[in-house]
Structure 1
């Protein structure tokens, strides 16, 4: 048996009558009764099995972006038009340079948000000698005075200290009944590093910034280069009178380590015992009036508290060094009272 041939599309290479077939097609479309009807059931005139195409899924509607509601705007944020911002900038430039500046429109005007932040006050320092404002450096440009604690500051520093409240540090997290060991700081510390630009070099480790120490010659006010104790301008050897920035007079009242003795004869001096190297109490300078009178009267010097040796001509002058502060008598008294309260009486019978 022969199956009927299926109706298919025409071969694109063959063409029917040109203009006449087009006119027939137009006339058929003009008549509404001759239009093809699209029904769900297949036509009876169709020969052979008919294949139905699966229904295409309808695309889901794209959700529209939600606009920010008034309640979603955090505090301190205000709405403002872009044109108003450009107008304010043009007005400020015109007031600064005394010209007329017209705002430039960079695009369509739209609404934007502006965050209000508190105004920060810059700190100004003025010289207490000539009342000149200091610049970026700590030396006055008019009288060459180095900025000190007497130079006023604007705004003034706040003297009120906030009371320390209860500690807000959270307790260590306990996982599985095991508490992390923080004894002697054994908790793992995070070290920040970055690669070294030099090839095959160790990575750079971030360290806490430290204040650089600067020494100034008291004779010519020149800075000493690092590691050099002789002034390049006046050939003065760095001594205890040369100021240090930052200063530490409480720890080093007699001068800083490595300095030459001070040339000021009004200050007392200290000597070391040449037998046990213990420092004697301070005595008047030998070139001062009190020191000359003491030397002429042949008054004996102080004795060493360690070996009992008296101060003599062989004892060298003590170099500048760190001086430990004297203990507070109130603290010593309280410690003695606590020890006396803890002491146990005589043995019982």
Structure 2
């Protein structure tokens, strides 16, 4: 009896439950049940679809740096220290370099310093632009138009260029008491600076007996032991200022030259007279002696011989006449009217 009941059709209650379940799943808006319904077969057995392989991470490519020709590796801290040092030397202050982050290497190329050249028109003094025509007077740039900075002189291999010496005058305004030493850099490397000194003429004296040069600072000839006198020539010569000889010289042994004497009372110099050992000097002893212009003292045996010294030239009479005429023209003449 149980066998036919098992082989018969399924009861209607099971079919009704399956259909109602599918209707409720289709009516819902979200697919949560649908997904869970469709995923039931996958849970029953393994899936036949192969798993997709995971992609490998891409290798990191570092950017390549093109090192220029002539570049050297330096540290960033060294560059900052050089900048601080140059600024400190320029403004005479002490600057500490600031650290901006971690120190790293960088590349540096040493290049020559370039200067911008300016050209100006020699007609209207206007500055030229990028073209060669003046914007004001339409003048084409020529060789007469000045350039700043001026063009350097090309150095030749054989001829050495002599540095230009500038005439610098010290400032004595307000009567400065301290001595100002003016210096300029030496063109030779690692040499002491050049000190400005007053230009002086080197004087050479020659012995008139043996034609030997006197040593600097001596008055006795090294060859013939002759004492330097007024006859010894001087180079350069100054006969107009020192006709009787130069200061420090001995008296001349030439009796043909006239001599001078000083008044022993007022030290005034008498006019030149013939040498006492010459024929004219012996004949002049019988005449009346010269009289001093200042103290009216006649020249005597006590009046010493005047040493060689500078002689002031006599004033030109024409110059004195013109000066007197100008002073007379400036003088105020009385009109004869009294207040």
TM-score (norm 2): 0.46
Q: TM-score under structure 1 normalisation?
A: 0.44
